[in-house]
Amino acid sequence: MLFGRNRKNPIKMVDKKAEKWTYATCGYCSVGCSIEIGTNADGKVVGSRGVGGADVNRGKLCVKGIFEYELFNSSGRGDKPLLRDSIVDSYKETDWDNATSVMANEINRIQETYGRDAFAVVSTGQLLTEEFYTLGKLTRGVIGTNNYDGNTTLCMASAVSGYKRSFGSDGPPGCYEDFEHTDCLMAWGSNLPEQHPIIYWRLQEAREKRSFPLIVIDPRVTMLAQKADIHLAVTPGTDVVLQNALMHVILNEGLEDKAYIEANTVGIDELKAEVQNYDPTTAAAICGIDEDTIRNVARIFAKAKTAMGIWTMGINQSTHGSDGVVGINNLSLITGNIGKPGGTSLSITGQCNAMGTREWSSCSGLPGYRYLENEQDRKDIGEFWNVDPDFFPTKRGLAQTDIFPAIETGQIKGLWLVATNPMTSMPNTERTRKILEKLDFLVVQDSYVDVETTQYAHLYLPAGTWAEKEGVFTNTERRVNIVRKVTDAPGDSKSDFDIFNLLAKQFAKTKEMTFPETPAGAFEEMKALSKGRLVDISGMDHDLIEKQRGIQWPYTQEQASKGELPPSGGKRLYTETATFRYADGKAKLIALPFIDNNERPDEKFPFWLNTGRLVEHFHTRTKTGKLGNTNKYSPIPFMEINPDAAQSLGIEQGEYVRCVSRRGDAIVMAMLTQRVARNAVFIPFHFFDCVNRLTLGLLDPHSRQPAYKQSAITIEILKDQQAAAQMSMEMRRF
Ligand code: SF4
């Protein structure tokens, strides 16, 4: 007789008859899982699987990766360039020569009429790094606009800004392996199980082998908070107050690492003076964490042999995002927890190649973490690209979130959007809609023709996606990993790399630059430019990257020529004394006075609105909204609301409600849960015409990243549930 588990039928995997498996890196989140894509005898893509020997995911994938192969047959793909006919106001198919010629002419016309910066470029975190590099070369070296940014301003700008302010350069100093060494992990606004499931699995595995305290700071009882030893349900937008209070305790009780501070940092006196204003009793009244817990957590963190801080959008998407990152860095620095196994300050990035754009796109500077503000950097790149260094601006132009208001006020007349969908992703949808309608010339370059933003375009350029192309991504732990081409892009669509090269040729009549013709050629240019830099990739090549299942930078030519195999490259940064990127080699401890400038709940709008992501979906659902298995698990917009709040409003589980803010309204289904406080709700950010109709998105002064997570709303019951259901379905888009 069979008992328990043995009585059940074993799970049977359908044999999809894959005959060939091609290596790639997952094209969704920044974890950077190694994935293989199966094709059958007819060359049809039939499956995805994790790669067992890859250090990042060790054979595993999350739900998005498992079904990622379905992308190649998803609906809504663009397969021809489309040009709007202004007389009949509809699109007509055109060929690439005409499309790129019209685009180059319009860019020239706008720049000649209104100035170089009147044409703006906003790209993404989802291109391959070689494509970012080529777009940067085209934008900085040929088009010459300074209003060039990535949509990474919506997710990672605060991390970049905070790293630069603390360490003198961007570049996360730690790695996933640090989970295996740490004695305490503090997670700030990071819900790993839903946002970065495979990193979460690495963390859980480390905790199962070797228990260490997990402290989660999040206003919401997220999945990660449910696994925490200590959960601090901080008042939205007050992380900096909590950080200051923790430092107050550490410094006042003499728990800091004095030798490390002395050898590696400047600014301790100013920091000490500032945190005196944040004794735990005072801080508790602002951040909502009781004073004993503040003291307890500060002591646990400071007394741990090694401790690490990680964070995601809960810190970044705030009016104090950059300060929040600096605060985490401060905590690591005063306790001597940078550059050692288990002791680090690690931003968990969002998109698959948010790091690649930071390193090589030239969005906020020049390639390889070079600065426009630095004369030598301008000279080096000018010589390498054959561009007069004086052609480069001497300081960074507008961020994405400032480009849109500049369109509103008429400073910017033309915009090129590459693989980004601001109609769904930007705060205050109505304002974004009016801004896009104001443009003289909008180009949308995207794999999908049916993204919401396309309807405002004058020109649409169809691009290949993910493994329809070849090149590298960099993940959150600085691991460069490769995507090999599996199949062709549909119809007449082209890789982004080829589109940039076609455009470069349109401008080549007047400019003396050469562009590599292949991604491998672009990678060689990046390698040459990386030599001796923090982001040194000169020892890598595409084949070695695949062989090693990804290599963390820095990995130098010297290491490669000595035959030192990765990971002798860069598991960690700043491992030696005083090797930070400021001229004196020392990191800055920066005092962080707290200014309370968020929109807050009041009598008229009594609920905090928090936004975030779901495990099944990626960003604006451009891809995952099309895939049966991911969309099926999470098909409609909903709102988490506390059962007590729901009861007081007369709202039942599963009813549709109308949320209203000072900007607009949205219909969502109510899901009753204790995960949110009585005065707070949570709505996922993936759906069109939904939560971003409500958000305010005040900007961080350093990073220009919007505060998506601190808006105020009210909630109305809807009498006609059938009509509400219909409206909610319309928001599904697909
Ligand atoms: Fe892809 Fe991220 Fe899931 Fe890994 S965790 S399979 S990188 S979406």
Condensed to tens digits (0 to 9), the pLDDT of residues 236-247 reads 999 999 999 999
Give distance in angstroms: CA of 61 to centre of ligand 1: 6
Atom of ligand 1 at shortest range from CA of 60: 6
Output the residue whose Cα is nearest ligand 1's atom 2.
29
Q: What is the CATH number of the domain that holds 116?
A: 3.40.50.740
* Residue 450 within any structural domain of the chain: yes
Q: Kindly state the percentage of the chain with pLDDT values over 70.
A: 96
Predicted confidence (pLDDT) at residue 252 exceeds the cutoff of 90: yes
**Boundary of a domain, candidates 279, 312, 347:** 347
Give distance in angstroms: CA of 35 to centre of ligand 1: 9
Give distance in angstroms: CA of 85 to centre of ligand 1: 41
The pLDDT, as a whole number, for residue 2 is 46
Give distance in angstroms: CA of 475 to centre of ligand 1: 11
Predicted confidence (pLDDT) at residue 218 exceeds the cutoff of 50: yes
CA pair distance 286, 734, nearest whole angstrom = 43
Predicted confidence (pLDDT) at residue 1 exceeds the cutoff of 50: no
* Residue 695 within any structural domain of the chain: yes
Query: Are residues 97 and 164 both part of a single domain?
Result: no
Predicted confidence (pLDDT) at residue 612 exceeds the cutoff of 50: yes
Q: What is the mean pLDDT of the chain?
A: 92
Residue 248: give the domain boundaries: 157-347
Query: Are residues 173 and 148 both part of a single domain?
Result: no
Predicted confidence (pLDDT) at residue 606 exceeds the cutoff of 70: yes
Query: Are residues 298 and 234 both part of a single domain?
Result: yes
CA pair distance 549, 571, nearest whole angstrom = 14
Atom of ligand 1 at shortest range from CA of 57: 4
Q: Kindly state the percentage of the chain with pLDDT values over 90.
A: 80
How many structural domains are present in the chain? 4
Give distance in angstroms: CA of 417 to centre of ligand 1: 25
**Ligand 1 — pocket residues by CB below 6 A?**
26, 28-29, 31-33, 57, 61-62, 64-65, 196-198
* Residue 565 within any structural domain of the chain: no
Of 38-42, 330-334, 530-534, 723-727, which gets the smallest average pLDDT? 723-727
Condensed to tens digits (0 to 9), the pLDDT of residues 129-185 reads 999 999 999 999 999 999 999 888 888 899 999 999 999 999 999 999 999 999 999
Q: What share of the chain is helix, strand, coil (3-state, %, to 5)?
A: 40, 20, 45
* Residue 236 within any structural domain of the chain: yes
Give distance in angstroms: CA of 141 to centre of ligand 1: 34
Atom of ligand 1 at shortest range from CA of 31: 7
Atom of ligand 1 at shortest range from CA of 50: 6
Atom of ligand 1 at shortest range from CA of 28: 8
* Residue 601 within any structural domain of the chain: no
pLDDT band of residue 364 (cuts 50, 70, 90) is: confident
Condensed to tens digits (0 to 9), the pLDDT of residues 615-625 reads 788 787 878 88
Query: Are residues 382 and 425 both part of a single domain?
Result: yes
Atom of ligand 1 at shortest range from CA of 196: 5
Atom of ligand 1 at shortest range from CA of 65: 6
Give distance in angstroms: CA of 30 to centre of ligand 1: 7
* Residue 29 within any structural domain of the chain: yes
Atom of ligand 1 at shortest range from CA of 35: 6
119, 189, 330, 389, 476 from 221: Cα distances, Å: 44, 11, 26, 51, 24
Could you tell me if 46 and 69 are in contact, meaning their C-beta atoms sit under 8 angstroms apart?
yes
CA pair distance 717, 638, nearest whole angstrom = 14
* Residue 577 within any structural domain of the chain: no
* Residue 193 within any structural domain of the chain: yes
2, 24, 100, 483 from 491: Cα distances, Å: 55, 23, 17, 21
Q: What is the CATH number of the domain that holds 669?
A: 2.40.40.20
Give distance in angstroms: CA of 221 to centre of ligand 1: 23
The pLDDT, as a whole number, for residue 702 is 94
Give distance in angstroms: CA of 70 to centre of ligand 1: 15
Give distance in angstroms: CA of 420 to centre of ligand 1: 19
Neighbours of 4 (CB within 10 A): 6
59, 332, 341, 549, 577 from 179: Cα distances, Å: 18, 15, 9, 20, 23
Q: What is the mean pLDDT of residues 533-547?
A: 95
Ligand 1: which of 25, 34, 62, 70 to mutate, most ligand atoms within 8 Å of CB? 62
Query: Are residues 131 and 237 both part of a single domain?
Result: no
Atom of ligand 1 at shortest range from CA of 62: 3
Query: Are residues 193 and 285 both part of a single domain?
Result: yes
Condensed to tens digits (0 to 9), the pLDDT of residues 440-479 reads 999 999 999 999 899 999 999 999 999 999 999 999 999 9
Ligand 1: which of 25, 30, 33 to mutate, most ligand atoms within 8 Å of CB? 33
Query: Are residues 176 and 254 both part of a single domain?
Result: yes
Give distance in angstroms: CA of 548 to centre of ligand 1: 19
What is the per-residue burial (b if ≥16 Cβ within 10 Å, else e) of 162-190? bbbbbbbbbbbbbbbbbbbbbbbbbbbbb
The DSSP annotation for 491-543 comes to TT-B-HHHHHHHHHHHHTTT------SSHHHHHHHHHHHHTTSTT--TT--HH
The pLDDT, as a whole number, for residue 185 is 98
Bridge partners of 471, per DSSP, are 483
Give distance in angstroms: CA of 50 to centre of ligand 1: 10
**Tokens in use for 453?**
């933003």
Atom of ligand 1 at shortest range from CA of 27: 1
Q: What is the CATH number of the domain that holds 298?
A: 3.40.228.10
Query: Are residues 443 and 381 both part of a single domain?
Result: yes
Atom of ligand 1 at shortest range from CA of 618: 8
Give distance in angstroms: CA of 196 to centre of ligand 1: 7
Give distance in angstroms: CA of 21 to centre of ligand 1: 18
For residue 187, give the 3-state DSSP assignment. Answer: strand
Ligand 1: which of 31, 195, 624 to mutate, most ligand atoms within 8 Å of CB? 31
Give distance in angstroms: CA of 107 to centre of ligand 1: 37
Query: Are residues 195 and 294 both part of a single domain?
Result: yes
Q: What is the mean pLDDT of residues 75-103?
A: 91
Query: Are residues 253 and 387 both part of a single domain?
Result: no
Output the residue whose Cα is nearest ligand 1's atom 3.
62
- Cβ contacts of 196 within 8 Å, gap of 6 or more: 29, 30, 31, 190, 312, 348, 476
Query: Are residues 89 and 169 both part of a single domain?
Result: no
Output the residue whose Cα is nearest ligand 1's atom 4.
33
Query: Are residues 270 and 322 both part of a single domain?
Result: yes
